[in-house]
Every structure is written in C-alpha cells, then in structure tokens.
Amino acid sequence: MSAIWKRQVDLSELNRMGENCLVAHLGIVFTRIDAGSLEAEMPVDARTRQPFGLLHGGASVVLAESMGSIAGYLCVDTGQSVVGIEVNASHHRAASSGKVRGVCRPLHLGRTHQSWQIEIFNARDQLCCSARLSVAVLG
C-alpha cells in the first residue's frame, strides 16, 4: 500500500462496507487496492441497464461516486470523513452485457477537499466513461 492510504483495509472489509445499500443492490464489488488506485466491478444487467438495453449512465455515476467516496475515506485520518460535493461524467462508449471495471485514482488530496478521477472500462478494456468526483473532508 502507498502513503496515500491512511486507513488499512482489505477487499473483504471494503465489500462489507457496501452491504445493505445501493452499492450491493447494483452488484458493485471492490476487486483491487494497490499503491495508488482502487478498482471495482459492476455487472451490466437488469439492475444497471436503461430501457434500451445499454448500461445506464446513472449506474456509471453511482459506480464512480461509490469508488471515489470510499477512496476518499481511506485517505483521511481517523475521526474524519468525506462527503461528495460534485460529480461529473462523460460517457464515451456503450456497454450492454458482462461487467464494467472502474479504476479510481487521486487527482488532488488536500486538507479540506479531494478530487478523484474514475475511468470505467468494458470487458474489452475500452473506455466507456470518465468521471471526476470532488469530496469535502469533514472533521
């Protein structure tokens, strides 16, 4: 793990944090944490598709915000927390089946706010969505 992570957790702990909330409802699973990034997968299925059979843009945003919020939490000291204050996403390519994989990396880790870049890829490792999340550090 890198110096960016101030809280040491493993993948099973990260996935337990998502139980009984939207993260679990959409099937989001954290799959990797390394020196400077966090990864998760989300199925493209009936829970995450829009009526035309494609991955719903809102589901991509939920994946991005979930990843950035967890990453932000892992980068603050005990007694602090983070809350999302802005999220934006650009959708580049559609996905209609399988899973998508999100990769979350820090753009800025400040004392009062953080910015995270989240890129979402399809099963062919093609970029489907680029998102940025800003969080405020509380506490």
Q: So which residues are the catalytic ones? A: 65
Whether 127 contacts 119, CB under 8 Å: yes
Whether 73 contacts 81, CB under 8 Å: yes
Which residue, 114, 125, 135, 139, is CA-closest to 39? Answer: 125
Which residue, 99, 30, 31, is CA-closest to 69? Answer: 30
Element (H, E) at 25: helix 22-25
Whether 9 contacts 74, CB under 8 Å: yes
